[in-house]
Amino acid sequence: MNKLLKSAVVSLALVGGISAAYAEGVDTSVDGIFSALTSTTNLQATVDSLVASGANPQSIISVAAAAGIPLDSVKELQVCVNSAASDAAVLSASCLRQRSVVTAYAAGVNDPMKFLPASAAGKKNTNKAATELK
């Protein structure tokens, strides 16, 4: 059992190192988070990469809400921040609770302009017929 635990810790450290290497150059601004979340095919891997790059987990959830990602998909995510003690033998992870996820999601839904890049609305529609659809 002890051998299994050691291999699990080593595997976690290895995966964390790979994620950190992959995360280099990841844009953690609202624009970067938005473009990463809206262009991904693997939402969990993208969130892991953003968190490893130092993005605020609550901001990631709020941007996901503002981007239109369904709450059910966001609730399925594991949004955790890993940290290692100075001796590198102790790893810990703090994960967002469901209540925190729902609160961050509500913030993104209630104030999308705070969590969307300026370009998210797209180009101004000059087609008069489309604007008179009311």
CA–CA separation, 69 and 111 (whole Å): 15
Output the pLDDT for position 105: 94
Structure tokens at 131: 């604007």
Q: How far are the Cα atoms of 2, 17, 58, 72, 133 from residue 54, in angstroms, in the given order?
A: 32, 14, 12, 24, 44
Coil, helix or strand for 74?
A: helix
Q: How many CB atoms lie within 10 A of CB 26?
A: 17
Residues 74 and 29 sit within 8 Å (Cβ to Cβ): no
* pTM higher than the cut 0.85: no
> pLDDT digit of tens for each residue in the chain (134 aa)?
555 445 544 444 444 444 444 445 788 889 999 999 999 999 999 999 999 898 999 999 999 999 999 999 999 998 888 776 555 566 667 888 999 999 999 999 999 888 888 765 554 455 555 445 44
